A and B are shown apart, each in its own frame.
Chain A
């Protein structure tokens, strides 16, 4: 079985205007150290490049062992402007958790 980010973490995504945020919440302290070290904003941006057209900024929450990724220009205009099947970016967490984690 291919190991994916979902094996280390879960998360939720949502919208504000044309910006989406994706939380990545570690399943264990060890998993948090691993994603904190390796799941950089650049890596997230590369993975989501077809969906997120703008910058990706990462915020760390050591207190709850979670990372928060803020993705700019991520919703085709956002809200009811977007022509996407998921205009509110509810599924974007899944897109990120699908990332292959083989390192």
Chain B
């Protein structure tokens, strides 16, 4: 018998209800929901500032009301890092929902310990350098722009919670693939230094953690074979894992999508740097020794993964508030389209002169906005869409900038139009990331349990 892990979420806002068919059909032994992209925690910090009881992902409520009752009935545990900055708050939502639904005996585990925002100065005093991972720039722990500081923790607290009989586990920043590795360690009792097996679990987790992306979503490899009408309903993936760590990647039976060598290869390298040294808190994984084999329709076997000892340091990512951005879109057409673009840019520059605008970026949609100077030149285009992006520390400056531009309606380039929805749009927050490293001895996960009566 294999142990079957289902994937129910790949980002904050993913369609978690597509985890239902795998649960209703009892095609899985556990389902994991991965909700935290690099910037998600900084975004959740804004929610938490407005209301301290928030700071978790909204998807938690859907998981609690729609998925948990069906999973609990079948004794299929659920694991999610959607607790974000407030796993205890998320656990409370789940508790209240479960109580309303009468899920007596349900055991909820909330994992904390990844949030070090209030410990930064103490950590620096303890000798942690915490320079920027890419630039080496030192960290300013007192910056009021700091939104969040969360360490990527490993699988251990989830393993402990599963062993303690938890039915749903809510965490903050656990490294994405470790969410999926944890139930394997708990089920097969793998040793914490059985590197090849741990690494196999990481590869399974890595292939699962973006849900539809391994089932034909965002895929060039199967662009000619996937049915366009199925894209919005792609089934979510499942890994059927053997005790030695090898596994078959497949999708929920009777759902749309494709799992083949192409979709697996695409996802295998997604957001990966050195494939021989894929670093996670629990193991360093080598993707270059593995073998892929298509054993049946929608079934790809993965074997031969190898691993190396886990790193001494954990990754810590800080989110920093840097201000706000806005977008305006103008369109000019034939004749003299490029000359009109020059006129528009000159108007913007003189209009905004003196305003504390920090960055301005122009791109030409449909011409070179994606690929820059790879785009072949077009000397006399029929139309040019000008996208103007600009940033400031405060929202008011951006509003003033837009209002000033709008006073020139009758003095602008001949025949120019402006997209009305961009004039009335709300500004978007500019966030910066500060990745660094922290010794693992400083991080101690804490698990709190609550049972529904």
Binding site for B on A (CB under 8 A): 10-12, 14-19, 21, 23, 25, 47-51, 59-64, 66, 68, 70, 72, 76-81, 83-86, 90-91, 93-95, 97-98
B250 at the interface (CB under 8 A from A): no
Can you give 26 contacting A-B residue pairs, CB < 8 Å?
A11-B220, A12-B266, A12-B267, A17-B435, A21-B271, A23-B266, A25-B221, A51-B371, A63-B291, A63-B292, A66-B265, A68-B272, A68-B275, A78-B433, A79-B38, A79-B39, A79-B433, A80-B430, A81-B430, A81-B432, A83-B325, A84-B361, A84-B363, A85-B363, A90-B218, A95-B374
Tell me, in angstroms, the Cα distance from A50 to B276 when the chains sit together: 29
Enumerate chain A residues within 8 angstroms of B38, measured Cβ to Cβ. Answer: 15-17, 79
A66-B269 in contact (CB<8A): yes
Tell me, in angstroms, the Cα distance from A91 to B369 when the chains sit together: 11
CB of A20, distance to nearest CB on chain B (Å): 9
Binding site for A on B (CB under 8 A): 38-39, 133-134, 218-221, 262, 265-276, 287-292, 322, 325, 359, 361, 363, 365, 369-374, 387, 389, 391, 428-433, 435
Enumerate chain A residues within 8 angstroms of B389, measured Cβ to Cβ. Answer: 83
A18-B370 in contact (CB<8A): no
Given contacts A61-B275, A95-B374, 5 further A-B contacts (CB under 8 A): A19-B273, A23-B266, A51-B374, A68-B273, A78-B433
The 7 closest A-B pairs by CB, nearest first: A50-B372, A23-B269, A83-B361, A83-B389, A14-B271, A50-B373, A10-B220
B374-A47 in contact (CB<8A): yes
Enumerate chain A residues within 8 angstroms of B325, measured Cβ to Cβ. Answer: 83
Tell me, in angstroms, the Cα distance from A51 to B373 when the chains sit together: 8
Task: Identify the interface centre among A47, A79, A80, A93: most chain B CB within 10 Å of its CB.
Answer: A80
Enumerate chain B residues within 8 angstroms of A70, measured Cβ to Cβ. Answer: 273-274
Tell me, in angstroms, the Cα distance from A92 to B75 when the chains sit together: 43
Enumerate chain A residues within 8 angstroms of B361, measured Cβ to Cβ. Answer: 76, 83-84
Enumerate chain B residues within 8 angstroms of A68, measured Cβ to Cβ. Answer: 269, 272-273, 275
Task: Identify the interface centre among B39, B133, B276, B365: most chain A CB within 10 Å of its CB.
Answer: B39
A85-B387 in contact (CB<8A): yes
Enumerate chain A residues within 8 angstroms of B289, measured Cβ to Cβ. Answer: 63
B265-A16 in contact (CB<8A): no
